[in-house]
Amino acid sequence: MREGATSRGLLPGAGADAKLLAVCLNPAWDITYQVSALRPGASHTTAVIAERAGGKGTNVARTLHQLQRPVHLIGLRGGAQGDLLHDQLLQAGIDCSFAPIKESTRRSITVVDGDEATVFNETGPLVTEREWDAFVALFADMLIGTAAVAISGSLPPGLPVDGYARLTALANEADVPVVLDAVGAPFSSAIGEHPAIAAPNRAEIVDTFGWDLPDRDAVVAAAHRICELGASSAVISSGTEGLVAQGDGRSWSARPPRLVEGNPTGAGDALTAALVDGLATGGDWPQMLRHCIAWSAAAVATPWAGELDEEVLREMLDATQVEEI
């Protein structure tokens, strides 16, 4: 165990009005189409169901905003999609600042066909070194007065693979604890810079490290290893099977009291939001993990990533059990 999680404010926190920061380096303009039946090779007439600002960090900020947490979203944006995204977030009342880039913010297309969703994610804009440096300066400025920061999602092309490591180091220098939800080399390199909480899901750990995680014991061991690699604590979600956490030298597991049907996209972002909120507001590990389960389940219960069903949220906060293992 590293002492970071406690010393950086997990217990006790800076209070419910503490300023939170969410980072979204590769936001997306999410377009959802409905088709009667998806037939590869065919031409389809599609109704546009929704166009929304997305990306993992954007969903984290939306979730915190819905629960009246004072959150500021920062990221990179460019082109027509960047303008659409920025305008929509401002209209939704979400405080945000984006460093400008020359290439266009990516799109993500979801084609809904009955219960099935087929997704096409553009890789994202090629960000120049100069644009990245400008973002890093914005990030450093925004850390002032921030109680905790969530860093999540993919890096757009052109960014150095240690981009999240650099941001995590800067946050630690400013004494701002980091929740990190990422995958691959950007994740593994940032762990070495001691984020307060590493919060990948089980599949992301498999993708990053190639570890075999067949059961809960293996996931608990993975959480230990992630702490040994540098994270102060680790929270690993296995979706509907719940989560395990390793922090302050102890291990916990938590799972939802019932299966919630709906759209799992955004559940991980709600969990990240609950963690960054927990880091800022304090409280004990069982309470924070109860929030993680409840926020995630409440996210599944709504059709759109970044939104929570507040009835499910209240139900789950009451009913979720956390056990030390």
Contact 273, 63 (CB under 8 A): yes
C-beta closer to a copy of itself: residue 266 or 282: 266
In the complex, least distance from residue 27 CB atom to a copy of itself, rounded to whole angstroms? 15
In the complex, least distance from residue 255 CB atom to a copy of itself, rounded to whole angstroms? 25
User: How many other C-beta atoms are found inside a 10 Å radius of the C-beta of residue 153?
Assistant: 29
C-beta closer to a copy of itself: residue 108 or 253: 108
Contact set with a copy of itself (CB under 8 A) = 31, 33, 35, 38-48, 80-81, 83-84, 107, 109, 111, 113, 116-123
C-beta closer to a copy of itself: residue 121 or 287: 121
- Write the single-letter amino acid at 310: E
Q: Cβ neighbours of residue 141 under 8 Å, at least 6 residues apart?
A: none
In the complex, least distance from residue 46 CB atom to a copy of itself, rounded to whole angstroms? 5
In the complex, least distance from residue 112 CB atom to a copy of itself, rounded to whole angstroms? 11
In the complex, least distance from residue 81 CB atom to a copy of itself, rounded to whole angstroms? 7
C-beta closer to a copy of itself: residue 40 or 210: 40
DSSP state of 7: I
In the complex, least distance from residue 134 CB atom to a copy of itself, rounded to whole angstroms? 24
Contact 135, 57 (CB under 8 A): no
Cα distances from 157 to residues 105, 141, 205, 249, 316, in angstroms, run 11, 24, 21, 37, 39
| Rounded CA separation 76/134 (Å) | 10
C-beta closer to a copy of itself: residue 49 or 325: 49
In the complex, least distance from residue 45 CB atom to a copy of itself, rounded to whole angstroms? 5
User: How many other C-beta atoms are found inside a 10 Å radius of the C-beta of residue 249?
Assistant: 10
C-beta closer to a copy of itself: residue 81 or 253: 81
**Based on the number of CB atoms within 10 Å of its own CB, is 171 exposed (0-12), middle (13-18) or buried (19 or more)?**
buried
C-beta closer to a copy of itself: residue 46 or 128: 46
- Write the single-letter amino acid at 110: T
**Could you give the count of Cα atoms lying within 13 Å of 277 in the half-sphere of its Cβ?**
26
**Based on the number of CB atoms within 10 Å of its own CB, is 122 exposed (0-12), middle (13-18) or buried (19 or more)?**
middle
